[in-house]
Structure 1
């Protein structure tokens, strides 16, 4: 009994754990605020904030959503972790742990389902790319994202250049008045190492004249890239998972310390 009394009287919050958790989360808090700010600024530049109904009018995927969602989650988690650690608030620390644990569980579940239903995921990726091919000219951020993907993976369309027939500006119908008829975006063009300036008109009429463009689809190229970089991708996901587990352990450790201190304060010998 005397040993238990001595332990309670000597209970204290670990400053190392407390301020390490605070520093660990303030980085994510600031990054989350930056991501959120970038997303809101991008929406303001496109006039979305002044006309909120346009959010649902986007024909394809708006890349700004990534900044909004990721930034919002990081901001909330960082806030809960920072204030919870600094103020030794067990409610915020438990919220941080549960929220982070839920994200970890969702990531793990998503990874397992993606492996089990990889054919379905491939079909959804094909649908996703084709759907955004249709909306290529509707959103500048989406346009830049598609151009980056096609240039990085040396691909064109979901399965090939003819997928650009889905876009009203690039389709080959005789009634299409667009100058880009039967063409592809410049990001589909095979780059000439001798050219210092990007030729944004290199995709004009390419499917009529047979110019040099990427003929492989982005779905297949992405799969190939994933297989070639499997160790790196897996390492990144494992690293993120370990960071999440580490954060949960720190928060739970701090909660235990705070409870022990409160118990020692209420203890009467």
Structure 2
């Protein structure tokens, strides 16, 4: 009818998708920043930041790398997702979804390969543990990680207590002057519920005893075997965790792609 203004509503950017993606990535970004801060603080405490060449001095695995790598990836992805959603920047949103898709693909590939080459993975796990046993005293973070693993899984070494012969402080050679000779770390010890104070010397000389006698004082099963058993016992929890992470990644990719489609549709309507 003449005299009446007609309004044509074109395509719009979904506010729900936009702010849901923004809110989730703010949390992701802050978590990544926290991981990075913890990693850098740990390096500063060990003097690595003042002498970067000391990174190569460690013979085993430095757990700080986990915080730095995971934190860095989370920080970059979270930043791209936040700014991309808030500013409706298609380049950042595409970067976010492609990078997240690549991580999802790598996780899926790793899972399939781990299932196919499980025996090779087991051998590599044994090698990894023994390599870190050698470097047990070289880095406090590595030492704490090994102690935690041995206490949590009630184990000692990769295959058993004798793996501690790989460490210069615990080996049984006659030339070893260490008081810990033929012993194991305290984290291998069977805990006495009656003891309130931790006995850090409980593993001294224990490998001089017969194997049956050792079982009274320390855990004699290897960590590789115990870890495999733990995975089998907690298969549903572990699988559920990975499926949950995968669904969150797919949800994030779908949100970002939906937002890109909305933005492109609005631009095309200009």
Q: Which TM class, normalised by the smaller chain length?
A: over 0.9
Give 4+ residue runs of structure 1 displaced > 6 Å after superposition: none
Q: What is the Cα deviation at residue 27 of structure 1?
A: 0.4
Ranges in structure 1 where 5+ consecutive residues have no aligned partner? 1-5
Q: Quick check: 1:42 aligned with 2:47?
A: no
Q: SS at the partner of 2:108?
A: helix
Out of 218, 222, 237, the residue aligned to residue 227 of structure 2 is 222
SS in 2 for 1:56: helix
Aligned residues of 1:155 and 1:221 also touching (Cα < 8 A): yes
Give, in angstroms, the shift of residue 159 of structure 1.
0.2
RMSD of equivalent CA atoms: 1.1
* Residues 9, 264 of structure 1: 8 Å contact kept: no
Question: Could you tell me which residue of structure 2 aligns to residue 233 of structure 1?
Answer: 238
Rounded to whole Å, the distance in 2 between the matches of 1:56 and 1:175 is 28
Aligned residues: 259
Classify the secondary structure of the residue corresponding to 2:219: coil
Superposed CA deviations along residues 77-135 of structure 1, whole A, max 9, x for unmatched, are: 00000000000000000000000000000000000000000000000000000000000
Q: Could you tell me the TM-score, scaled by structure 2's length?
A: 0.94
Measured in 1, the distance between the counterparts of 2:59 and 2:20 equals 44
1:23 is aligned to 2:23 = yes
1:1-269 matched pairs, under 5 angstroms? 9-209=9-209, 210-211=213-214, 212-265=217-270
Query: How far has the Cα of 1:264 moved from its partner?
Result: 1.1
CA distance, structure 1, for counterparts of residue 111 and residue 150 of structure 2: 25
Q: Given that residues 161 and 184 in structure 1 are in contact (C-alpha distance below 8 angstroms), is that contact kept between their aligned partners in structure 2?
A: yes
Q: Structure 2 stretches of 5 or more lacking a match?
A: 1-5
TM-score (norm 1): 0.95
Alpha-carbon distance in structure 2 between the residues aligned to 1:137 and 1:58: 10
Structure 1 CA distance for aligned equivalents of residues 177 and 232 of structure 2:
41
Q: Equivalents in 2 of 1:53, 1:104: separation in Å?
A: 34
- C-alpha displacement at 1:9, in angstroms? 4.6
Instruction: Give the Cα separation in 1 of the matches to 2:18 and 2:47.
Output: 43
